[in-house]
Amino acid sequence: MAIETVGVVGAGQMGNGIAHVMALAGYEVFLNDVDQAAIDRALATIGKNLDRQVSREKITATERDEALARIKPTLRLADLGQADLVIEAATERESVKQAIFEDLLPHLKPETILTSNTSSISITRLASRTDRPEKFMGFHFMNPVPVMQLVELIRGIATDQATYAACLEVVNRLGKTAAPAEDFPAFIVNRILMPMINEAVYTLYEGVGSVKSIDESMKLGANHPMGPLELADFIGLDTCLAIMNVLHDGLADTKYRPCPLLTKYVEAGWLGRKTGRGFYDYRGDEPVPTR
């Protein structure tokens, strides 16, 4: 089927980036959230990021204006029923995602493709709770969406070839690269990345190195653009912990046991950049290590 209209559920960090790239690629976008303030912040962020692309001559002012005009904000989930493709980008909790799909189903066209931007949760299990498991798949963008070139496409056990082909065509139209992944915990990127971050937290927890020495070692010694603890703060420590729990529960291997220090930071509400404190304190002019 030809996809021309896209619904995005969730106007947070990932949702606003997905709406941005979809609108810029020519899709009509319905951007939904339960919170008007979140939608307002998302539209402001999209506008600012498009302005940055204009200033860097990546796009023209006309392309920016046309992209903004294609985004239709809405508080009503039912408005997404007219979309050809729906991408759920809500918080990384399975119960929340299931509730969204349950509320959405009565409003969808029979041919609408349902997808989730989940970074770790079973696509097969999410799909099984809908009326269209063959038209359901994982559509996992990397953060920040307008910059990162990869999209993981994850087929559930029931996903049909037509659905995969339609989603692959969308990725190609966005000018991004698709990585097909099997539906196992955390897929490809986070299956590799999150245990590295978790091991960096263990290295801190056991006193092998400080926040600064761990991050500098990986940046200068392994040529990583960002240290693992700095990256964890950027992703969100709650998200990192949630993915480690999915890996630990889904694969039943002790090597995926979340570091107790990561759990402690999340319990404290020190979730990284979004809360002002994580492995670094962002409340001053420069980030300062918290350990």
Active site residues: 119, 140, 152, 190
Q: Which residue(s) pair with 86 in the sheet?
A: 7, 114
- In the block, tokens 């038209």 appear at 135
- In the block, tokens 């992209």 appear at 67
Would you say 68 and 26 are in contact if contact means Cβ atoms under 8 Å apart? no
Q: What distance in Å separates the CA atoms of residue 254 and residue 244, rounded to the nearest whole number?
A: 11
Q: What distance in Å separates the CA atoms of residue 112 and residue 125, rounded to the nearest whole number?
A: 19
**Which tokens is 210 given?**
């400080």
Of 179, 173, 104, the closest CA to residue 141 belongs to 179
Q: Which residue(s) pair with 180 in the sheet?
A: 153
3-class SS at 24?
A: helix
**Which tokens is 219 given?**
């940046």
Q: What distance in Å separates the CA atoms of residue 287 and residue 285, rounded to the nearest whole number?
A: 7
**Which tokens is 286 given?**
């420069």
Q: What distance in Å separates the CA atoms of residue 20 and residue 176, rounded to the nearest whole number?
A: 14
Of 204, 263, 201, the closest CA to residue 238 belongs to 263
**Which tokens is 40 given?**
């307002």
